[in-house]
Structure 1
Amino acid sequence: MWKVSVKDIITEKRKVIEGIYAPQEIELHTGTYKVLHGGFKVKMVLTFADNKIVLGGYVRGSVERPCDRCLKISEMHIDGVIEAVYTFEQKIHQKKEELKELINEIHITGDIIDLEERIIEGIVSSAPDVFVCDPNCKGLCPHCGADLNEEPEHKCSESELGSIDPRFAILLKLKNAQEG
């Protein structure tokens, strides 16, 4: 379903592809996560113009991911953009030119274009590095690990002592000994 014929796109000039991209799990830069709700909704439009095939579209769906503050498994929504330009001519860039022109151009080498790579690219590039289950998530107690969302009045015996860097604990003992 995610492979299209170059000849068909050239003949039709415009082709719309819609469907569900349904892997069981997806690997993102922060880990591998279970895909929810049957997969990602995908819509792409391929247009042939100026001897190039221009791809634009979106990919939307959710994965199961732990919150970075409280570690509870939550639903993370991904709303990704799919875009690329497929060309028939291969440009040879010098390294300095390559950095100046960061265009997502892909050289067409065969009769078929595999769009699955662009779908994955849209998902991965849109996934956040840091995910929180709720903007008001309080996270975990840094001393004992208690969930501060479930125990908003939590008082930890460690936190009452103050947060003393263990490397300086011996200095505190010396100070207390001198003060008598």
Structure 2
Amino acid sequence: MKVLNEQVLAPTDVGNALIGVRGGSELDLDLRLEAVHEGILVSGTATAQIAGECGRCLEPIEYDYEADIQELFYYEGSEEFESDDEVDQYWVVDDLIDIDPVVRSAIVTALPFQPVCREDCLGLCSECGVNLNDDPEHQHAVLDPRWAALAQLADIVADDAANDNTSDKREEK
């Protein structure tokens, strides 16, 4: 058994468009490597700084995430699962293992699809883009487009009535 405590640089493409691990940031690995009959069992944690944007209000999000890792790396020539395409297989090649895909998988699968800065985030106004968290009472008078023609007709009637009133006042003088 061997214990591995290291800080390594994170790869650049861990995450999705809104959230992920910053490329080049530090990734803390606290792993235990154990020799077993089939290969090397790797278990432990990887801690990464997650950064991104809220999917509702686009405010920055940052937090530390600790991913649990437990994966078996099979020795070369092992025929345990070679024919099973459904099982992810990792191999010991020339007495070396590549931990990168395991760490990447553990972190990416835990990232939220739609990250939010807080559960009750109100997001942005769909009309003007104002952050509704700063102004929860913000609103626009939105007229149903089906009633728009009637509203225009009401404006015309109001204008005609105003014009009639001014012409009546002129006639009285």
Same fold flag (TM > 0.5): yes
What is the distance in 1 between the residues matched to 2:22 and 2:67?
15
Q: 1:107 to 1:15 in 2, by over 3 A?
A: same
Q: 1:26 to 1:32 in 2, by over 3 A?
A: farther
Structure 2 spans left out of the alignment, 5+ residues: 158-173
Deviation at 1:131, TM superposition (A): 0.8
Q: Residue 108 of structure 1 aligns to which amino acid in structure 2?
A: V
Counterpart residue number, 1:92: 82
Q: 1:123 to 1:117 in 2, by over 3 A?
A: same
Q: How does 1:126-145 map to 2 (within 5 A)?
A: 126-145=110-129
- Percent of residue pairs bearing the same amino acid type: 20
- Bigger shift: 25-34 or 145-154? 25-34
Q: 1:120 to 1:34 in 2, by over 3 A?
A: closer
Q: How does 1:162-173 map to 2 (within 5 A)?
A: 162=143, 164=144, 169=145, 171-173=146-148
Q: 1:21 to 1:120 in 2, by over 3 A?
A: farther
Q: Residue 118 of structure 1 aligns to which amino acid in structure 2?
A: V
Runs of 4+ in 1 over 4 A off after TM superposition: 31-34, 173-180
TM-score, with structure 2 as normaliser: 0.70
Q: Deviations over 1:24-83 (max 9, x none)?
A: 8543133575639x5222211111112321111211222321111100112143332222
Query: Contact 2:6/2:29 (CA < 8 Å) preserved in 1?
Result: yes
Which protein is bigger by CA-based radius of gyration? 2
1:161 matched to 2:142? The reply is yes
Q: Residue 150 of structure 1 aligns to which amino acid in structure 2?
A: D
Q: Residue 74 of structure 1 aligns to which amino acid in structure 2?
A: I
* Number of positions where the alignment pairs a residue of Structure 1 with one of Structure 2: 152
Structure 1 spans left out of the alignment, 5+ residues: 1-13
Q: 1:68 to 1:77 in 2, by over 3 A?
A: farther
Query: Contact 1:79/1:126 (CA < 8 Å) preserved in 2?
Result: no
Query: Contact 2:45/2:67 (CA < 8 Å) preserved in 1?
Result: yes
* Higher RCO (CA < 8 A, seq sep 6+): 1
Q: 1:177 to 1:119 in 2, by over 3 A?
A: closer
CA RMSD in angstroms comes to: 3.1
Deviation at 1:178, TM superposition (A): 9.4
TM-score, with structure 1 as normaliser: 0.68
What is the distance in 1 between the residues matched to 2:72 and 2:14?
25
Counterpart residue number, 2:46: 59
Counterpart residue number, 2:92: 108
Q: 1:73 to 1:24 in 2, by over 3 A?
A: farther
